[in-house]
Amino acid sequence: MCRALATTWLFAGLRNNEILRLRVGCIRWQRDAVIVPATGDILPADAVCLLDVPVNKTATAFTKPVDRIVGDAIAAWEKVRPQGAKRADWKTGEFVDFLFMVRLTGVGKSYLNNTLIPALCAKAGVPLADVRGNITTHRARSTIASQLFNAKEPMTLFELQEWLGHSSPSATQHYAKITPLKMAKSYADAGYFARNLRAIEVLIDQDAVRAGIASTEPWKFYDLGHGYCTYDFFEQCPHRMACAKCDFYMPKQATAALLLEGKANLLHLLQEIPLGEAEEAAVEDGVAAYEKLLLRLADVPTPAGPTQRQIGSDLVQITSFRVAPGSSAT
């Protein structure tokens, strides 16, 4: 009986009075594989068992799935449980066969908190209290609720509400605490800083570097898709996302560009370029944001000196970054 009580307390997510008021035959088995109507997924046979929970303080009687370890422990106790007289349920007044009875007497309301849990803590070498307070029957309920909410395939708030037997989701939110690990994973997946970076291909002319002419001749070429930028400090150029085609610009159809691409000793690298808010909007939001970016840059000097308006180019194009794996494609 103690083993069944402990297992139910740990893994069924029940209140103290719900555990003590469970009835004989409260476990039902899902013996066959079934198809879930809402999703079409298959629930394998014996994956879980169903536990009938009596009326509680906020809800009527309901049925919830629990791990088969709970069903096995309760079934083992029912096999050896002495038969006894029915007792009145102090909540409903009806006479029932309480599951946890010994010598025709039901388990006391304080048994779990004052006897069983202290014994389990002593056996496991766990203190009776921690930073969250005393370890009581409510601890296991809140712990498993948080684990189900933070699982790899978590329960939704409304599913957890049904499983706990709450009448409103506001009560469930108290239990649905997000673990630091899940929060860290969600934060990493959100990619707040990564979304403000784009990777652009850079060609390094190793012949120019080795010949010592890198200080006077272009040696680093940023691939803009429609041409190359030879400005060494490309990441600092305000026109990098909307190239004004200043003197540092080399169109891909130019002879110099064709000669560059024909070199066998080119080093291909990817460099991450941080984007400002206007540039990020141009990438994410499309033409309208891009035109707004062009207008803002019209009178901003290019690395070569003249502004975009002074250059007067009608062929200004947004930079087409070659995106590194894992980044957002543009």
Residue 101: strand pairing partners: 106
Local confidence band at 327 (pLDDT 50, 70, 90 cut-offs): very low
Q: Degrees (nearest 5) of the Cα angle 78, 82, 87?
A: 95
The pLDDT tens digits of the residues spanning 80-99 come to 998 878 888 888 888 999 99
pLDDT surpassing 50 at residue 326: no
- pTM of the complete model: 0.56
Q: Give the C-alpha separation, 7 to 112, whole Å.
A: 12
Give φ, ψ of 72 to 5 degrees: -65, -40
pLDDT above 90 coverage of the chain, percent: 24
List, in sequence order, every beta strand (DSSP E) within the chain: 27-29, 34-35, 42-43, 48-53, 62-67, 87-88, 95-96, 101-102, 105-106, 129-130, 133-134, 197-205, 220-223, 227-229, 242-243, 249-251, 266-274, 317-318
Q: Degrees (nearest 5) of the Cα angle 16, 20, 22?
A: 115
State the CATH architecture for 2-186.
Orthogonal Bundle (1.10)
pLDDT surpassing 60 at residue 51: yes
Local confidence band at 119 (pLDDT 50, 70, 90 cut-offs): very high
Could you tell me the residue ranges of all domains in the chain?
2-186, 194-318
Q: State residue 13's pLDDT score.
A: 93
CA count, 13 A, side-chain hemisphere, 113: 13
**Residue range 206-218: average pLDDT?**
79
Q: State residue 52's pLDDT score.
A: 94
**Residue range 209-216: average pLDDT?**
77
Local confidence band at 236 (pLDDT 50, 70, 90 cut-offs): confident
Give φ, ψ of 10 to 5 degrees: -75, -40
**Residue range 252-268: average pLDDT?**
82
pLDDT surpassing 70 at residue 300: yes
Average pLDDT, the chain: 81
Q: Give the C-alpha separation, 11 to 68, whole Å.
A: 10
**Residue range 296-305: average pLDDT?**
84
Q: Helix, strand, or coil here: 299?
A: coil
Place of tokens 């150029």: 237
